[in-house]
Amino acid sequence: MNTFVQRYRNELGLCRQRFEALDLRKEKGYQFKFTMFSANLQNILPDIPTHRHEALFRELLLQQVYTTFDQQFITANDLVRTTGPLQRLLQQKRPNIYCTFHLGSYRLLTTYLFRQGVDCALMVGSRVFREQGDEMHATIERLRRKHRLTNTFKPLDAESTASTLQVIRELRAGTSLVIYIDGLTSKTGEPHQEDKEIRVRLGHQRVWTRKGVAFLSHVTQTPIVPVFSYREDDDHNVLAFESPIDPARQPDREAYCQESLQSLYDHFGTYLARYPGQWEGWTYVHNFFDEDKFHHPMLASVPLRTRKRVAFNQDRYTLCDLEDAPVLFDRRLYVTYEISPDLRDFLLQAGTTEAPEEVLGSDLYQDLLSRQILV
């Protein structure tokens, strides 16, 4: 093992040691953040047993530390392994739209392509453009000086009204585009514009995603190249390049948008199932769920009789302390109910309570049954 690789692994080891020294459960907001992560994981990949969720959440938090370190460790992209048709893509000397997700050390894709001599434009949201634009330029300049590169790099504000025309000009001028497709979507509860957004399957859910990347691909006849980043057990980062999605194969633009975006998410679903602890999107994907998921079903009909034993429905609900007040979180409908400390205490020991209706009162007891909080 060469000295550089050993140094990189030693630095990652120090990151891991500092992370493992933290008592995460004492960190502010940890419980609710984990609850949201767990609900999203359960709804998209229900085959992963819930007893694995907290270990995967901790893996995600550590992965975020690694991602930040990789961005600062300027030669980290020299250790990247690649799979797929990268060399053929580079030899073609034509622009591509490299479409990726916030999986693994995803920021390495841009620096890796730049290191290979590719002229790059990176599309990011307005906040990232404002807050991290200078840092991106600094990293690129360090690479440029170290390797004497002459190719170009520019970040683009994806939310700017002029961004579409700017990207079209860049693609037609031979600049490749890098875009994180899972970060450029609207939020649940806001009106969806079907001329700009589309629904696709992700695991066991349907999510909204913007059509922009597919629209740009079709207008400029630029292939979309799916790329997925993940970290292997030996700490090496991998960039997996998939075969390009060619817009010339589908002349109908709307059909191409649906087919290409679904293909992207199908590819992503395969990697997500393999590396569920490496996707940053678990913390916000509920914002992009199809709103039909949040339509409240009719309350369950329950018999008006006293049960000697009931249990708290832990598969659907989670008890949390939010701002020092107990709340009940519905993992299916993403609804939070503020409850009293007495009700929280009851739910924690519901399975051992005899005659629960007498303890709670008939109205509250029947309400908890109808909402399937008690089963």
What confidence score (pLDDT) does residue 305 get? 52
Phi, psi (deg, nearest 5) at residue 83: -130, 160
Per-residue model confidence (pLDDT) at position 216: 95
What pLDDT, on a 0 to 100 scale, did the predictor assign at position 8?
86
* Adjacent-strand bridge partners of 224: 97, 245
pLDDT score for 162: 84
For residue 22 the two structure tokens come to 């933290």
Query: Residue 298: what pLDDT?
Result: 55
Mutual angle of helices 3-20 and 53-72, in 10-degree steps? 130
**CB of 103 within 8 A of CB of 271?**
yes
In this prediction, residue 188 carries a pLDDT of 45
Name residues whose C-beta falls within 8 Å of residue 161's C-beta, 6 or more positions apart in sequence.
none
Whole-number pLDDT of residue 146: 87
Query: Tokens at residue 200, please?
Result: 């696709």
Contact 181, 101 (CB under 8 A): yes
Q: What is the pLDDT of residue 183?
A: 72
Rg (the chain; Cα; Å): 24
pLDDT of residue 295: 62
How would you write the pLDDT of the chain (375 residues) with one tens digit per residue? Answer: 577 778 888 889 999 999 999 888 888 888 889 999 999 999 999 999 999 999 999 999 999 999 999 988 877 888 899 999 999 999 998 999 999 999 999 999 999 999 999 999 999 888 888 888 888 888 888 888 988 999 999 999 888 888 889 999 999 999 999 999 997 554 444 556 667 899 999 999 999 999 999 999 999 999 999 999 999 988 889 999 999 999 999 999 999 999 999 999 999 999 999 999 999 999 999 999 987 766 655 565 555 555 567 899 999 999 988 777 899 999 999 999 999 999 999 999 988 888 888 889 999 999 999 999 998
Read off the tokens for 64. 């975020």
pLDDT at res. 73: 84
